[in-house]
């Protein structure tokens, strides 16, 4: 194996640690294995996640548990119509005692930021996250302020209640690496969840504090950097680009995905390969991550929405119609 690839030993060590992380979170967030995998893929790919699901499915618990498992700092912002940009990023204030201005940092200065019900605030407030999501810094009074690493925004929105909400601008949607749907657990999982909680063995407000850290934030940064050495054949990069470009050519889509989607698919496919203990990407890895990477980056035509079709329906057709390379 050449210098551009990770060694089998390195892949094995990373896989074992990430598997332990995956198992621990899965024991807390019962019945949401697919969601946990997608969140870990986004974390390893150094991206942000838009979580969509009805209240009570454990979105906050997921973010707190993930932070606790890697010794990361967690902060939460409840988005409301009167929330101001400075409430998110921070601001300067005059210190009477010192006779000078000082910076009061906002909640974005953390490792994991839960932007709860992000669509409850107007575009001006939502836009406060644009710089920090893309550049991993915040500018306060003209001075750039670096934020801790790793940094991940997990934004939630309720798919049912639309009254009093503001749609996320396309520029912000494009900064989310993945859009993840969290649904109700299966029957057996819901029975198990109910038994555990009613047996007083589970306290969802304290669980993340009781967890022992599996790794630290530096380890996650190291894994994020090592992903660039997972092999992606040129034919797979071309395949990812063809999938994205197909969204711009479909008559069902009035606005297709941007080049960020191509980059996102490759980054996530590398993380997916690591979760499957491989140092190379397969065509199926591309297919597995393409939908959550693209579903929030496209806009459907009015006729398609009237027919009751969703973004996932259209993307499924694209995945079926674009031929994958044989590698």
Condensed to tens digits (0 to 9), the pLDDT of residues 202-246 reads: 554 444 446 788 999 999 999 999 998 899 999 999 999 999 999
> What confidence tens digit (pLDDT) does each residue in 152-194 have?
999 999 877 666 688 888 888 999 999 999 999 899 988 988 8
Mean pLDDT of the chain: 89
Per-residue DSSP letter, 19: H
CA 154 from centre of chain: 6
Domain boundary among 183, 200, 226: 226
Average pLDDT over residues 21-31: 90
Q: What is the CATH number of the domain that holds 324?
A: 1.10.8.80
Beta bridge partner(s), residue 253 = 300
Position of tokens 């709860």? Answer: 116
| Domain co-membership, 239 together with 221 | no
- If you write DSSP's letter for every residue of 53-90 in order, what string do you get? --TTSSHHHHHHHHHHHTT--EEEEE--TT--HHHHHE
CATH of the domain at 81: 3.40.50.300
DSSP assignment of 242-272? HHHHHHHH-TTEEE---HHHHHHHHHHHHHH
For strand 178-181 and strand 74-78, is the pairing parallel, antiparallel, or unpaired?
unpaired
In this predicted structure, the answer to whether residue 45 has a pLDDT above a threshold of 90 is yes
pTM for the structure as a whole = 0.90
- Looking at the structure, do residues 67 and 141 belong to the same domain, yes or no? yes
Sheet containing 152-157, strands listed edge to edge, beginning at the edge strand earlier in sequence: 74-78, 112-116, 152-157, 49-52, 178-181
Q: Are residues 44 and 167 in the same domain?
A: yes
Is residue 178 domain-shared with residue 239, that is, in the same domain? Answer: no
**206 and 274 inside one domain:** no
Query: Are 48 and 182 within one domain?
Result: yes
pLDDT attached to residue 160: 73
- pLDDT reading at 7 higher than 70: no
pLDDT in tens, 71-113: 999 999 999 999 999 999 988 776 777 777 778 889 999 999 9
Residue 36 belongs to a domain: yes
Evaluate whether residue 90 is within a structural domain.
no
Question: In this structure, are 151 and 299 located in the same domain?
Answer: no
From residue 189, how far is each of 34, 65, 183, 275 by CA, in Å?
13, 19, 12, 23
Q: Are residues 26 and 54 both part of a single domain?
A: yes
Domain count, the chain: 2
| Contact call for residues 92 and 143 (beta carbons, < 8 A) | no
Q: What is the dihedral of CA 299, 303, 304, 308, to 10 degrees?
A: 120
The CA-atom distances, in angstroms, between 210 and each of 56, 318, 326 are 21, 45, 47
- Is residue 96 assigned to a domain? no
Among 183, 205, 226, give the residue marking a domain's end: 226
Per-residue pLDDT tens over the stretch 242-257:
999 999 999 999 999 9
Measure CA of the first residue to CA of the last residue in the chain; give whole Å: 18
Domain membership flag for residue 1: no
Interior/surface letters 175-187, b for 16+ CB within 10 angstroms, e for the rest = bbbbbbbbeebee
Question: Which of 3-17, 47-61, 72-86, 123-137 has the least mean pLDDT?
Answer: 3-17
Q: Which DSSP string do the residues of 275-310 spell out, in sequence order?
A: HTT-SB--HHHHHHHHHHHHTTS-EE-HHHHHTT--
Same domain, 292 and 204: no
Domain boundary among 211, 226, 241: 226
User: 200-232 burial by CB neighbour count: b if 16+ within 10 A, else e?
Assistant: eeeeeeebbeebeebbebebbeebbebbebbbb
Alpha-carbon distance 161 to 157, whole Å?
9
Domain assignment present for residue 126? The answer is yes
Determine, yes or no, domain membership for 35.
yes
| Per-residue model confidence (pLDDT) at position 104 | 84
Average pLDDT over residues 24-40: 92
pLDDT at 249: 95
Residue 139's SS3 state is strand
Same-domain check for residues 29 and 57: yes
Nearest to 75 by CA among 103, 111, 129: 111
Q: Are residues 318 and 264 in the same domain?
A: yes
**Residue 59 contacts residue 182 (beta carbons within 8 Å):** yes
| pLDDT 10s digits, 274-317 | 999 999 999 999 999 999 999 999 999 999 999 999 999 999 99
Looking at residue 48, what is its pLDDT?
Answer: 97
Structural domain contains residue 276: yes
72 domain residue, yes or no: yes
Residues 156 and 199 in one domain: yes
Mean pLDDT over 13-30 rounds to 91
- Domain holding 288, by residue range, is 230-327
């Amino acid at each position: 194996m050449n210098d551009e690839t990770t060694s089998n030993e390195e892949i094995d060590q990373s896989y074992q640690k990430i598997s332990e992380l995956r198992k621990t979170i899965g024991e807390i967030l019962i019945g949401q294995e697919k969601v946990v995998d997608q969140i870990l893929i986004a974390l390893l790919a150094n991206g942000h996640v838009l979580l969509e699901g009805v209240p009570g499915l454990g979105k906050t618990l997921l973010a707190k548990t993930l932070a606790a498992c890697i010794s990361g700092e967690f902060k939460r912002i409840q988005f409301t119509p009167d929330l101001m940009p400075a409430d998110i990023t921070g601001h300067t204030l005059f210190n009477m005692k010192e006779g000078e201005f000082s910076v009061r940092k906002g909640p974005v200065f953390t490792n994991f930021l839960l932007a709860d019900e992000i669509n409850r605030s107007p575009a001006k407030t939502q836009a406060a996250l644009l710089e920090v999501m893309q550049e991993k810094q915040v500018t306060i009074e003209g001075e750039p302020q670096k934020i801790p690493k790793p940094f991940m925004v997990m934004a939630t929105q309720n798919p049912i209640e639309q009254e009093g909400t503001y749609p996320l601008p396309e520029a912000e949607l494009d900064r989310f690496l993945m859009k993840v749907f969290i649904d109700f657990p299966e029957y057996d999982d819901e029975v198990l969840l109910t038994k555990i909680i009613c047996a007083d063995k589970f306290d969802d407000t304290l669980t993340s504090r009781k967890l022992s850290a599996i790794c630290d934030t530096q380890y996650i940064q190291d894994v994020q950097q090592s992903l660039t050495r997972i092999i992606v054949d040129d034919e797979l990069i071309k395949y990812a680009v063809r999938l994205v470009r197909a969204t711009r050519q479909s008559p069902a889509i009035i606005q297709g995905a941007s080049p960020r989607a191509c980059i996102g698919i490759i980054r996530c496919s590398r993380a997916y390969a690591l979760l499957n203990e491989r140092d190379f990407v397969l065509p199926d890895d591309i297919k597995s991550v393409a939908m959550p990477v693209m579903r929030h980056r496209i806009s459907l035509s009015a006729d398609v929405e009237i027919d009751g079709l969703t973004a996932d329906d259209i993307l499924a057709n694209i995945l079926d119609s674009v031929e994958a390379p044989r590698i």
